[in-house]
């Protein structure tokens, strides 16, 4: 029954997501694909996956322990904190912090998790800001 509930919830989210994507305004100068295409593709993929889960539920689902649920809840808290801190701390600092915490929770030693978080943040910053020229949230250090 839990698979069917998940499938129905995923299908509802997919329908809502596709509807939201159709509300994206198009500019008079746009490429043939347009800004709506990618969100609609994501919504369709989510919808298809949800339909598969609805039609072919697992007969004996394996539920994780309460400790695993706590880990998932902790990851959600980290991602919400990341979204809230991004405009204040900036992309580099917020991403380094979130990456370090999530890497640590995946089993990396704390020092290596911090190093991985900083390198991940700087690598993404280099690719998206320096190479591709995209604007990322500026922090108190100006980058």
Residues 46-67: tens digit of each pLDDT: 999 999 999 988 888 788 899 9
The tokens describing 82, both together, are 């990341």
pTM of the model: 0.66
pLDDT at 29 over 90: no
List of residues 6+ apart from 39 with CB closer than 8 A:
17, 18, 20, 21, 24
> Helix, strand, coil % (nearest 5) of the chain?
70, 0, 30
The answer to whether the beta carbons of residues 51 and 11 sit under 8 Å apart is: yes
Residues 88-118: tens digit of each pLDDT: 999 999 999 999 999 999 999 999 999 999 9
H or E element at residue 90 = none
- Of residues 74 and 34, the one with the higher pLDDT is 74
Band of residue 136 on the pLDDT scale cut at 50, 70, 90: confident
């Amino acid at each position: 029954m839990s698979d069917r509930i998940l499938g129905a919830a995923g299908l509802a989210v997919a329908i809502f997501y596709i509807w939201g994507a159709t509300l994206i305004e198009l500019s008079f100068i746009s490429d043939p694909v347009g800004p709506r295409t990618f969100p609609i593709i994501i919504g369709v993929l989510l919808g298809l996956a949800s339909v598969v889960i609805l039609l072919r539920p697992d007969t004996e689902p394996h539920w994780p322990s309460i400790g695993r649920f706590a880990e998932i809840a902790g990851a959600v808290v980290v991602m919400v904190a990341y979204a809230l801190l991004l405009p204040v701390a900036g992309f580099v600092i917020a991403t380094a912090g979130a990456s370090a915490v999530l890497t640590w929770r995946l089993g990396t030693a704390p020092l290596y998790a911090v190093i991985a978080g900083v390198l991940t943040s700087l690598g993404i910053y280099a690719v998206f800001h320096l190479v591709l020229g995209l604007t990322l949230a500026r922090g108190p250090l100006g980058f």
